[in-house]
Structure formats: C-alpha cells, structure tokens
C-alpha cells in the first residue's frame, strides 16, 4: 500500500489510524469470520485482488465500518462479485453477524451519515433483497399519545379560544380613533365624527409639537423613511448614536441603547442578563408590566414575586437567597393602571444590603417627572441608586421606541448578546430625530409637564368631591373604578357614542377581575370646557345607571384602594405647580 495514501486515509479512519502496516498485512492473509463460518464466497474468482481479500480478516474488519461496507457492496456490483441472490444474502449475513460500533468520532459519524444518504440517493438499495435501508439501524418513530378520529381543525380551535374571551368579558375591542395633530386632543372616528380623547399615553402632546414634527420632516427629506437594516447592517446612523448619548446624559448613566419599543427593551434585557448571570434569581413586583414578566420567563432564571410595593415581603425573599447569588430586583416607578409609585429609595437600599441589581422601568415617568424629565428617580434624587433604567420614546416624548441606560459594560453586554436588539431593524431616522428633539426640548421646558400635573390635580379633586370612585394614587393617572368588565365596556361605549368622549375601559388580565375601570389621562391641552364636559358626562352615567360611588365601595369593605380610607398625597406638590406653571386655559 502506498505510504502517502495510507497516511491520508488514516487521518479519516479511526481503525487505520490505530493499526500499523504490519498488522494490516497480517489481517489481509488471516481468514475472516465469514470464511470460517460459511462457504458462500467459495465461487468467487480468486484471480482478482478484491476477490482474494474478500474472505480475509481485513475484509471482516472492513464490513464492520458503515462506510466501507457500502463501498465493498458497490465494488462488488461493478465487478459482478455479488450477482446472485445467494451471494447478496452472504454479504448481508456478514454485515449482520458483526455488531456495529456504537460510538464514532463526531466528524467520522457525520461523514458516515452523509455517505449513507448519498448511496441511498444513487439507488444502491438493490444490493439487498429488502434494501439497504433495512440493514441500516433506524430510530423507531414514537407513536402519537393522542389519536384523532379526524384531522385537527385549526379554525375551530381559534374560535373556541376566542369564545373564552367573550364568555369572561375580557375580549378586547379596538376603537377606530384618529387623533388630529392640529386639533389636539381631538380625534375623528372611522365615520368622521369628532371626539375628545381622554386616555392617550401622549401625555404632553409632544407628538404634534412643532419642535418634534418639523425636525422629523427635515430628517425624512434628508435620510428617507427607513433605517435600511439592523444596527449591524446599514442601520447604525449618527442619529441613533446621538439619541443614545442624549439618553445616557438624561439618566446620568455611562451608556444607553435604543430598541424598537420598551416592551422589546424589557424583554430582551431581562431575558439576556438573567440568563447570563450564573444562578440568577429575579425578584419581581406583583404588578409589573407584561414585558418584564415575559423577559423573566424567557430568561429561564428562578423567580420570586413580592407583593406590590411591600418592602417587608421583598426583604423576606432577599433573606432566603445566598448573598453571593446574583439577583435582580425588577420594578416600576409609575404603575400605569393603578397610578401607584414604586418605593425607589427603599428598594435601592435593600439591593445594596443584599447584593442585588436594581432594574427600574420608568416608562410612564420619563418626560413627566424631574427637572429634566428623567422620571421619578430624578424627581426624588435617586438616579445614582439605580443600576439599570428602562424607558420609552412612545409616551411623554410622543414618538415610538424604547431604551435602556446603565454602565458601559452592561449596555455592551446587551448590545452583544440580546437577539431582540441584534436581529431587529433599527428605528427609522425620522422617528429617531423626533425622539431626539423631544428629549432635548423637555430637558429645558417645564411648561408641558407642569400643565399636565395641574390638570390631573384639578380633575382628581373634582371627581373626589362628587364621589366618583377614583383609585387613590400620587401620579398623573386617574383610574375610575367600575368593578365589572361588561359594565366598564358599556360605559366606555356610552361616553363615546352619546358624549363624544373617548375613554378606554381596562379589563382582565391588565387588571384583576372585579377591578375593571376607566383609565383617564389628562394632558396640558385639555381645557376647562373639555373637563367640564367629561365631569358632567361621568356624573350623568353614574346617576342614571346607579353605579357604585366611593361610599358604596366603603360599605362593601373597599376595593382597589377605593373606600378604604386611603389619603394619598400627590408626588408633585400643587403649590409648586401654581408657582411655576404656565397653566393652560382652565
């Protein structure tokens, strides 16, 4: 055998790599297993070298190899060695009499699988009466645990799932509402009828502000409508980098990273970070947003849920975890459906004591609180106490998108590992430009956020005096408790059709069953006249329908904070508002 050929083949074949030339020579002259057991090969011509070695120990070793056994078969067909049925059966018995190796090197096994599939594609199964496939070990297909008498009906399944939503009154209806930029907060419905919007998250009306709109138009003309790809492929423009620098400065962090939405930001960040931290445990507030809950699920990390804003319960859970185990405390500043505010300083203190990271969602607070609009953490001077801050560009800032802010290495970790960032087309240049201009404007202007807070204070005060059941809270959210899903939807519909006022009803699973509500969000653009119409409409509906007021809820023991004797002070002081606010017409 040529030495160079042997050396080349030995690198691929585990058998040859372990066998010396002298061993191979001896095997070629020693009788093989089949030769000792049967004379089926006796009629094969001995004049051919291949024929001479067909009964040798080397041949027996070769047929043990999943690759060589097929090669031998192919050569046999070409030379006419196995032309008869009896000879084919002899080869079959030779192969079957030898146990196949159970373990092969990965690279070798891969080549074997590929080789077998190629042989089958070339229709060489005719070598055996019942085909090569029958001689090749196969995985037995698992029988289905469920046997259906007829094919699964997908459409019926969809209908059944939707019926569940209809039955428990949690089915969501989307109203056709088209907000008019030049007539904020007015919109028109699908029929063209004009209504006043009282539930938008465009809290400050920045979506129609000239500073934002004009810059977006300029950017659109200059850079076009789309980003052109992911951040890694043509979608990483100077605008994106400038926006991230502006956001890092806003929250006094080293770095920031922009996402397509804050839902994606929360999901991607929590799932990536918690999956990377060894043995991580996440402690989550029971009222956290769905995006955070989803991120925790996707991380696969252990989770402990503490009662809403309950610091004693949080500390109890922290004490149950080893001090050296990585931990993340995930919570929000403003909880959007009830309006409560997270105890940021208290949570940060516990995090330091028990060696945990803090993850603060400021989605409903950025632009709204703090001297520069950085959120509640800035308002109470606690930004330095928080490790990770997430926020949105789609509420107070008036456009769309989300972001995270934190240390340089943390942000780079998420940038490098989070699929939700890496594989998503980046925000369009006009959107990024609009967000950038909105943030810069609200860093300096107090007028919009103070105007919003003033209108919130006035509306809460008026509803409280009339006994309309507002869920007590210190923020800019005004949840009006109804307590029944069907009734909440019906009241929302009546406000829209009868009074031309749009206030969306909020049902389970966004809020617990029995705590269904209307969610009202005043803006600086809601005048006294508009507020009068809203208050009158609510009073009429409550009286005509006999809906529960605060005293009624009190007699039942209270619900969702209503009728439970809670007196909540507003986060932003009314006297401060009067002193510094350039108030809207009210």
Catalytic residues: 395
d(CA 15, CA 104): 11
- 221 prior amide bond cis, ω within 30: no
In Å, how far are 219, 441, 531, 571 from 584, measured between CA atoms?
Answer: 31, 18, 12, 20
The two beta strands, 505-506 and 517-520, are antiparallel
Structure tokens belonging to residue 386 = 């928080």
In Å, how far are 233, 269, 344, 470 from 339, measured between CA atoms?
Answer: 40, 25, 15, 10
d(CA 572, CA 369): 8
Angle between helices 408-417 and 262-276 (to 10 degrees): 100
d(CA 524, CA 454): 8
d(CA 398, CA 394): 5
Helix, strand, coil content of the chain in percent (nearest 5) = 50, 10, 40
Indicate the helix (H) or strand (E) that contains 61: helix 57-62
Q: Where are the alpha helices (DSSP H) in 373-527?
A: 376-379, 408-417, 419-422, 429-444, 447-465, 485-499
Q: Which residues contact 285 (CB under 8 A, 6 or more apart)?
A: 305, 306, 308, 309, 330, 331, 332, 342
Cβ–Cβ < 8 Å for 539, 464: no
- State the CB neighbour count (10 A cutoff) for residue 355: 14
Q: Rounded to the nearest 5°, which phi and psi values hold at 284?
A: -120, 135
Greatest C-alpha distance within the chain: 113
């Amino acid at each position: 055998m040529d030495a160079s050929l042997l050396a080349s083949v030995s690198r691929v074949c585990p058998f040859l790599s372990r066998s010396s030339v002298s061993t191979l020579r001896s095997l070629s002259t020693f009788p093989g297993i089949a030769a000792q057991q049967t004379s089926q090969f006796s009629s094969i011509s001995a004049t051919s070298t291949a024929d001479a070695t067909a009964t040798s120990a080397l041949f027996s070793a070769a047929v043990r190899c999943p690759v060589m056994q097929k090669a031998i078969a192919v050569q046999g067909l070409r030379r006419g060695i196995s032309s008869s049925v009896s000879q084919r059966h002899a080869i079959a018995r030779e192969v079957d009499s030898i146990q196949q190796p159970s373990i092969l090197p990965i690279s070798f096994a891969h080549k074997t699988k590929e080789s077998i599939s190629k042989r089958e594609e070339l229709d060489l199964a005719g070598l055996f009466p019942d085909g090569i496939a029958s001689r090749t070990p196969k995985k037995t297909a698992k029988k289905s645990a469920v046997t259906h008498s007829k094919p699964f009906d997908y459409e019926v399944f969809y209908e059944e799932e939707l019926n569940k939503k209809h039955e428990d009154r949690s089915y969501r209806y989307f109203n056709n509402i088209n907000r008019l930029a030049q007539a904020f907060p007015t919109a028109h419905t699908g029929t063209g009828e004009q209504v006043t919007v009282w539930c938008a998250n465009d809290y400050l009306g920045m979506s129609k502000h000239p500073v934002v709109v004009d810059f977006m138009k300029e950017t659109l003309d200059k850079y076009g409508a789309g980003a052109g790809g992911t951040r890694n492929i043509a979608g990483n423009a100077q605008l994106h980098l400038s926006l991230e620098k502006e956001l890092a400065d806003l929250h006094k962090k080293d770095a920031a990273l922009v996402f397509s939405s804050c839902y994606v930001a929360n999901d991607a960040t929590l799932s990536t970070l918690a999956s990377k931290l060894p043995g991580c445990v996440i402690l989550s507030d029971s009222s956290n947003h769905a995006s955070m809950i989803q991120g925790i699920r996707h991380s696969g990390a252990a989770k402990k849920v503490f009662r809403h804003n309950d610091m004693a319960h949080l500390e109890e859970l922290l004490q149950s975890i080893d001090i050296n185990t990585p931990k993340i405390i995930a919570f929000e500043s403003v909880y959007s459906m009830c309006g409560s505010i997270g105890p940021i300083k208290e949570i940060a203190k516990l995090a330091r004591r028990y060696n945990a990271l803090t993850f603060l969602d400021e989605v409903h607070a950025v632009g709204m609180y703090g001297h520069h609009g950085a959120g509640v953490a800035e308002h109470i001077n606690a930004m330095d106490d928080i490790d990770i801050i997430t926020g949105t560009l789609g509420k107070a800032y008036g456009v769309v998108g989300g972001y995270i802010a934190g240390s340089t290495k943390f942000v780079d970790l998420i940038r490098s590992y989070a699929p939700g960032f890496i594989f998503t087309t980046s925000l369009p240049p006009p959107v990024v430009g609009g967000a950038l201009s909105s943030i810069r404007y609200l860093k300096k202007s107090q007028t919009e956020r103070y105007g919003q807070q003033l209108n919130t204070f006035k509306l809460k005060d008026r509803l409280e005096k009339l006994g309309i059941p507002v869920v007590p809270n210190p923020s800019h959210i005004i949840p009006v408790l109804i307590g029944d899903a069907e009734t909440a939807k019906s009241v929302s519909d009546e406000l829209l059709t009868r009074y031309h006022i749009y206030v969306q009803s909020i049902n389970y699973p966004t809020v617990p069953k029995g705590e269904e509500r209307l969610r009202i969000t005043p803006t600086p653009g809601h005048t006294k006249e508009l507020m009068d119409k809203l208050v009158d409409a609510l009073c009429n509906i409550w009286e005509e329908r006999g809906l529960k007021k605060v005293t009624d809820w009190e007699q039942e023991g209270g619900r969702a904070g209503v009728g439970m004797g809670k007196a909540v002070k507003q986060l932003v002081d009314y006297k401060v508002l009067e002193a510094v606010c350039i108030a809207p017409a009210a």
